[in-house]
């Protein structure tokens, strides 16, 4: 099994596929939107790979962090979630945000994922509630910031922002920030989007 690839990102397509060249061999990988934003072709990149094998095909899914890969593996082990939906979920919610969304039973945030309706969101909350409590996720940087994230989301909702704005504004809060600093950051993100 392929666990990681370290090489040069030589090509990428709008559909999320990319080629990572390692010692002269090009590996075609599927990158989510988050991975596409963080990886650049001019430098050496390191990606964490899930090698997905089915009877009719083999695919490599690449992630910028081991936590993203662990979350992807949890998602595809969930009933009714295939690789495409798992990637869409991770493109909408980074792992720590997803844990918070599931813990709070935030159906509105889950239905922001393309292809997830209310019934699917309800099922995901039920099935993922126990599965997402993994050391790989909990021990990652930024863990323990769940209460700050929850407080900031609640404050934004009270200020009248819709679910999409709240999720977008809180998707990348500064690590280790207190609630006031995180809220200022989220408000500046929203302000930038409306500018």
pLDDT by residue (tens digit) across 163-184?
Answer: 777 777 887 777 777 888 888 8
Please tell me the pTM assigned to this model: 0.68
Contacts of 32 (CB under 8 A, 6+ apart): 16, 63, 87, 90, 91
pLDDT, tens only, 75-133: 999 988 999 999 999 999 988 889 888 988 889 899 999 989 999 999 999 889 877 76
Q: Which two tokens stand for residue 124?
A: 């995901």
**Contact status, residue 165 vs residue 156, Cβ threshold 8 Å:** yes
Nearest residue to 46 (alpha-carbon basis) of 62, 57, 23, 28: 62
Q: Give the whole-angstrom CA distance, residue 190 versus residue 194.
A: 6
């Amino acid at each position: 099994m392929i666990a990681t690839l370290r090489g040069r990102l030589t090509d990428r397509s709008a559909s999320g596929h990319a080629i990572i060249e390692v010692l002269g061999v090009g590996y075609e990988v599927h990158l989510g939107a988050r991975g596409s934003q963080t990886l650049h072709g001019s430098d050496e990149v390191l990606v964490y790979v899930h090698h997905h094998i089915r009877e009719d095909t083999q695919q490599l899914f690449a992630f910028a962090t081991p936590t993203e890969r662990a979350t992807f593996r949890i998602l595809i082990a969930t009933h009714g979630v295939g690789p495409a939906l798992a990637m869409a979920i991770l493109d909408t919610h980074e792992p720590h945000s997803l844990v918070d969304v599931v813990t709070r039973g935030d159906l509105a945030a889950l239905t922001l994922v393309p292809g997830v309706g209310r019934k699917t969101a309800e099922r995901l909350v039920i099935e993922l509630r126990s599965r997402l409590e993994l050391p790989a996720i909990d021990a990652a940087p930024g863990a323990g910031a769940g209460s700050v994230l929850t407080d900031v989301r609640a404050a934004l909702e009270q200020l009248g922002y819709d679910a999409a704005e709240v999720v977008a504004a809180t998707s990348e809060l500064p690590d280790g920030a207190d609630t006031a600093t995180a809220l200022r950051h989220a408000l500046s993100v929203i302000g930038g989007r409306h500018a």
